[in-house]
Amino acid sequence: MKKYTLIFLALGMSHFLFADPPTPPVGKRWVLNPDFSDEFNGTELDASKWFNYHPNWKGRKPGLFLPSQVSVKNGYMQIRGEKMEKDTIIHAYGKDMTFNIAGGAVVSKKSVYLGYYECRSKAAATTMSTTFWFSGGGGVGPNECDTYKQEWDIQECIGRGGDFKGDYFAYGMHSNAHYWYTDCDGEKHDHRAAQVRFEDSELASEDFHVYGGWWRDDVSASYYYDNRPPKHQQFYNKVSDKPMDKPMYMRLVSETYPFPWIELPNDEELADTTKNTVYYDWVRGYKLVDVDAPNDSDLNLESEIGLYDENVSFPSATYELSSSETLKIPFTFQANEDREIELKLHDPEGKVVAKTVASVYAGYGNMVFDFEVGQTLEAKAGYKLVASVLPAGGEKTNKLDTSTLILDLKN
C-alpha triplet 3, 8, 14: angle, nearest 5°: 130
Please check whether residue 141 is in contact with residue 239, taking contact to mean a CB–CB distance below 8 angstroms.
yes
Q: Are strands 326-335 and 76-80 parallel, antiparallel or unpaired?
A: unpaired
C-alpha triplet 243, 248, 252: angle, nearest 5°: 125
Beta-strand (E) ranges in 43-192?
Answer: 50-51, 63-65, 70-73, 76-80, 82-92, 95-112, 115-122, 130-140, 147-157, 171-182, 188-192
Beta-strand (E) ranges in 158-276?
Answer: 171-182, 188-192, 196-203, 209-217, 220-225, 231-234, 248-254
Residues 6+ apart with CB under 8 A from 14: none
Distance CA 178, CA 135 (A): 9
Among 39, 82, 85, 151, the active-site one is 151
Distance CA 74, CA 12 (A): 33
3-state DSSP helix/strand/coil % of the chain, to nearest 5: 5, 50, 40
| Identity at 340, one-letter amino acid code | E
Q: Can 187 be counted among the known catalytic residues?
A: no
| Identity at 356, one-letter amino acid code | T
Among 82, 118, 156, 269, the active-site one is 156
Q: Can 151 be counted among the known catalytic residues?
A: yes
Distance CA 73, CA 40 (A): 8
Phi, psi (degrees; rounded to nearest 5) at 55? -60, -25
Task: Give me the active site residues, please.
Answer: 151, 156
